[in-house]
A and B are shown apart, each in its own frame.
Chain A
């Protein structure tokens, strides 16, 4: 019995979970016959295969020693993904000129070398100006410059 903290174990668990979820979601789709496949046929076959792969991976994790999962660094993930979500949530409300610099600063804070100083702020302002000019003015991406909060 080997540790359940190996990569094989968790990858197998993920595959089985994903395959199971797909089958659950596809249960109401018509299966059809092998000659006239319904919308549910192919997804069910694929998720069946995925579950098999998952079970093999799980079995392997118990049968032979595997590598442990390395530490998952939550700090960068929290900041970078958080910054992206913040941007998604506030873009229409705050507009690019306000939402983007905040997003950039949140993301930057994910780095251990992050310091909130004049240089950082200047770089943020510069990048925001660049994005506003290139994407909104230049390429015509229909993003609000100022959001609904500022009457944009």
Chain B
């Protein structure tokens, strides 16, 4: 059994004292910052990224992954306790979770979320261990044509699955791609769009963009409706779910895990779509759909399981193809590149310690969440009740210092300020920052693969359609676009996202 020896290697890595410690630290910091209302996983990871730069690659990735689940779980805690979902994937949790809390079942809701997430995380981890190597073996046969088509498919999928306007999602992807080209052209050494500033010669770090549009931009949006932020905390009691509760959780958690695992792998999918779909399915298949929205335990268990499963399996395309399916994975890719590792199918072969260590640590991280979170709930409640007026200046300070630490240059702080303001204005125009970040990270890779494939085929663009795998990938992209433009699907899509508001 090959996979056993691989997992053993992973266990040795994940259970080393330092990695365990950093995983714990990541989970703890992630949850602590994730519970803060108005801070989603993307902003949390962007803020904490600079902390990991000094670490060895596997430790850095393990810590970042820990931060990610922590932030996600923290977001659910806030959604349940104060009905202030930190990001879109916990919006659904707030529907029934907050009602449960108001009915005096806050403890049960939190425990349900924790247990559901853990069960889903365990299953998803096993899935990654089995499917990722197979997928990367396929991907190793890809040439530049296939890569280019795959990235196009990824970008198209992220556009289709984005929650806002399709047209503006396309616009933001294109804008992101252009921003990604700033810096020295690796083929010719030519400077592009640098305005003669040497600070731009290496391009703009994705951390600056992420902190600007997600960190500062979100603060500006939050400051608009401060009045609505009066936090009334419900008391947390009865943390241990009863046997009956556990019984009622089994089926929804199983269904949620399945949906989440599948949707997580899709480009553009990940946690948010998974939780929406799982909630919709539970409501539809329930014998008592009228209980939903009034504190149904299934309405917490299924989306929580789904969003955690989706969060985990979205690592699969990131690790095996080097393609991010959501902004969080875009940040992870950026972190890998900063560590000097080129993301792609060869990561498993060339960095087995990192790959398998990360997989085993995912499970360890989920276990830590389960063990850590319920006893520490008092601390999280204290964090939630910090008034926003005290919180956001601290975020500004952390972002500014974090961005400075990238290159020890104040120029980067100026850039971040610019991106923050631009992000706020674009949000006003319904232009979501998530596609922008995906385009930004993929820009240089997309250009590189386009150039290589056109060189191979001597400038003949039809080869994208005559090579079978590339043609299938492009066909899928076209089908996605056509399907979304079809009136019936369009209506469904709008329905699916209306619960969000």
Contact = CB atoms under 8 A, between A and B. Distances in A.
Q: Are A and B associated in one complex?
A: yes
Interface of A: 7-8, 10-11, 14-15, 18, 22, 25-26, 29-30, 33-39, 42-43, 46-47, 49-50, 53-54, 56-57, 60, 67, 69-70, 72-73, 76-77, 80-81, 83-85, 87-89, 91-92, 96, 100, 103-105, 107-108, 110-114, 123-124, 127, 131, 135, 139, 141-143
16 contacts: A30-B188, A34-B454, A36-B459, A37-B451, A39-B188, A49-B174, A54-B171, A73-B223, A77-B424, A80-B220, A81-B421, A88-B400, A88-B413, A110-B392, A123-B390, A141-B401
B113 to A, nearest CB: 30
B387 A76 contact: no
Given A37-B187, A96-B401, A143-B405, 10 more contacts: A25-B193, A39-B188, A47-B178, A50-B178, A72-B428, A89-B410, A107-B397, A113-B387, A123-B390, A141-B401
B32 to A, nearest CB: 14
A27 B413 CA distance: 29
Contact of B430 (A34, A49, A67, A85): A67
A35 B454 contact: yes
A49 B170 CA distance: 10
B388 A111 contact: yes
A49 B430 CA distance: 19
Interface string B317-361: 000000000000000000000000000000000000000000000
Contact of B400 (A60, A84, A108): A84
Interface string B172-189: 001101100100010110
Contacts of B450: 37, 42
Contact of B223 (A35, A67, A80): A80
A57 B171 contact: yes
Chain B contact residues: over half helix, strand or loop, or mixed?
A: helix
A107 to B, nearest CB: 4
Contacts of B389: 108, 111, 113-114
A127 B454 contact: no
B171 A42 contact: no
Interface of B: 51, 54, 167-168, 170-171, 174-175, 177-178, 181, 185, 187-188, 190, 192-193, 216, 219-220, 223-224, 226, 387-390, 392-394, 396-401, 404-405, 408, 410-411, 413-414, 416-417, 420-421, 424-426, 428-431, 447, 450-451, 454-455, 457-459, 461
Given A50-B174, A60-B167, A103-B396, A84 B190 contact: no
Contacts, number: 187
A73 B224 contact: yes
Contact of A135 (B170, B187, B224, B401): B401
Given A69-B428, A73-B224, A80-B223, A85 B414 contact: yes
Contacts of A124: 393
The residue in B178, B193, B216, B458 that gathers the most chain A C-beta atoms within 10 A of its C-beta is B178
A108 B431 CA distance: 27
B54 A139 contact: yes
Nearest to B405: A141
The residue in B185, B193, B393, B426 that gathers the most chain A C-beta atoms within 10 A of its C-beta is B393
A136 to B, nearest CB: 9
Nearest to A45: B450
The residue in B54, B167, B181 that gathers the most chain A C-beta atoms within 10 A of its C-beta is B167
A111 B226 contact: yes
Contacts of B216: 80-81, 84
A108 B426 CA distance: 23
Given A80-B220, A139-B51, A36 B404 contact: no
A34 B451 CA distance: 8
Contacts of A141: 401, 404-405, 408
Contacts of A29: 190, 192
Given A14-B429, A57-B168, A131 B192 contact: no
Contacts of B397: 100, 103-104, 107, 127, 131
The residue in A80, A103, A104, A107 that gathers the most chain B C-beta atoms within 10 A of its C-beta is A80
Nearest to A77: B220
B220 to A, nearest CB: 5
A53 B461 contact: no
Contact of B416 (A53, A84, A110): A84
Contacts of B461: 34
A36 B452 CA distance: 9
A113 B390 CA distance: 10
A40 to B, nearest CB: 8
